[in-house]
């Protein structure tokens, strides 16, 4: 499935300053019945967003109309717990294109990268500065430059981040693993011909 191409994300941020957010909090298990990637966004952080009667909880950040954007600022150890790919689907379907945190669970990081969602791991110091700036001024924007592997708090600090060259190329071109293989089909066939000779 070809996804949206990622290059430079210039957006406001939603600050979720909570550590150890696990995948069951991101998308509760009772919503995992579908195998389609669509529709999960409406249940993102369901138990934190809504009360027992389905009414929005006023004190949850996604229900605060001062905050929106394509970037989720998240506390340390984001995406821990079970390996459900639906967590990345829910974040992407809601509209996020990047999550910035000081640490990601490995399985979540891989699921995010495989589904067009960019996990940007930064230092604790940078993350804290970002939270302070966004909480002081919800209009604060962050710039994530994927080709240069750099993240900026607009008008303030910047930091480099790591990403595998392969996943970087896939995100920039909007490829999943199958799309990538199709894109290098001719090279594979040439290699195959040489190995037969």
Q: Would you say the C-alpha torsion 10, 12, 14, 19 has a positive or negative sign? A: positive
* Residue 25 contacts residue 78 (beta carbons within 8 Å): no
- Alpha-carbon gap, residue 84 to 30, rounded angstroms: 12
With bands split at pLDDT 50, 70 and 90, how would you rate the model's confidence at 156? confident
Domain spans of the chain, in order of start? 8-196
Q: What is the mean pLDDT of the chain?
A: 90
Residue 192 in this model has a pLDDT that exceeds 70: no
Whether the pTM exceeds 0.85: the reply is yes
Minimal CA–CA distance to 119: which of 98, 97, 146, 92? 98
Query: What mean pLDDT comes out for the span 132-151?
Result: 97
Instruction: Name the CATH superfamily for 8-196.
Output: Aconitase, domain 4 (3.20.19.10)
* Residue 134 contacts residue 64 (beta carbons within 8 Å): no
Over residues 35-90, the pLDDT tens digits come to 666 779 999 999 999 999 999 999 999 999 999 999 999 999 999 988 789 999 99
């Amino acid at each position: 499935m070809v996804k949206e191409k990622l290059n430079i994300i210039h957006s406001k941020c939603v600050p979720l300053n909570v550590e150890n957010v696990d995948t069951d909090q991101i998308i509760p298990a009772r919503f995992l019945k579908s195998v389609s990637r669509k529709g999960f966004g409406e249940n993102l952080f369901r138990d934190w967003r809504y009360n027992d009667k389905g009414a929005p909880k006023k004190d949850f950040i996604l229900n605060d109309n001062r905050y929106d954007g394509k970037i989720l600022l998240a506390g340390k150890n984001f995406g821990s717990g079970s390996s459900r790919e639906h967590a990345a689907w829910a974040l992407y379907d809601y509209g996020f294109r990047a999550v910035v945190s000081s640490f990601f669970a490995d399985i979540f990081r891989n699921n995010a990268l495989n589904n067009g969602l960019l996990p940007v791991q930064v230092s604790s110091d940078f993350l804290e500065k970002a939270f302070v700036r966004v909480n002081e001024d919800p209009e604060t924007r962050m710039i994530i430059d994927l080709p240069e592997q750099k993240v900026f708090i607009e008008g303030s600090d910047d930091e480099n981040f790591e990403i595998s060259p392969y996943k970087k190329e896939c995100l920039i071109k909007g490829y999943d693993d199958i799309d990538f293989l199709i894109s290098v089909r001719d090279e594979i066939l040439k290699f195959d011909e040489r190995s037969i000779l």
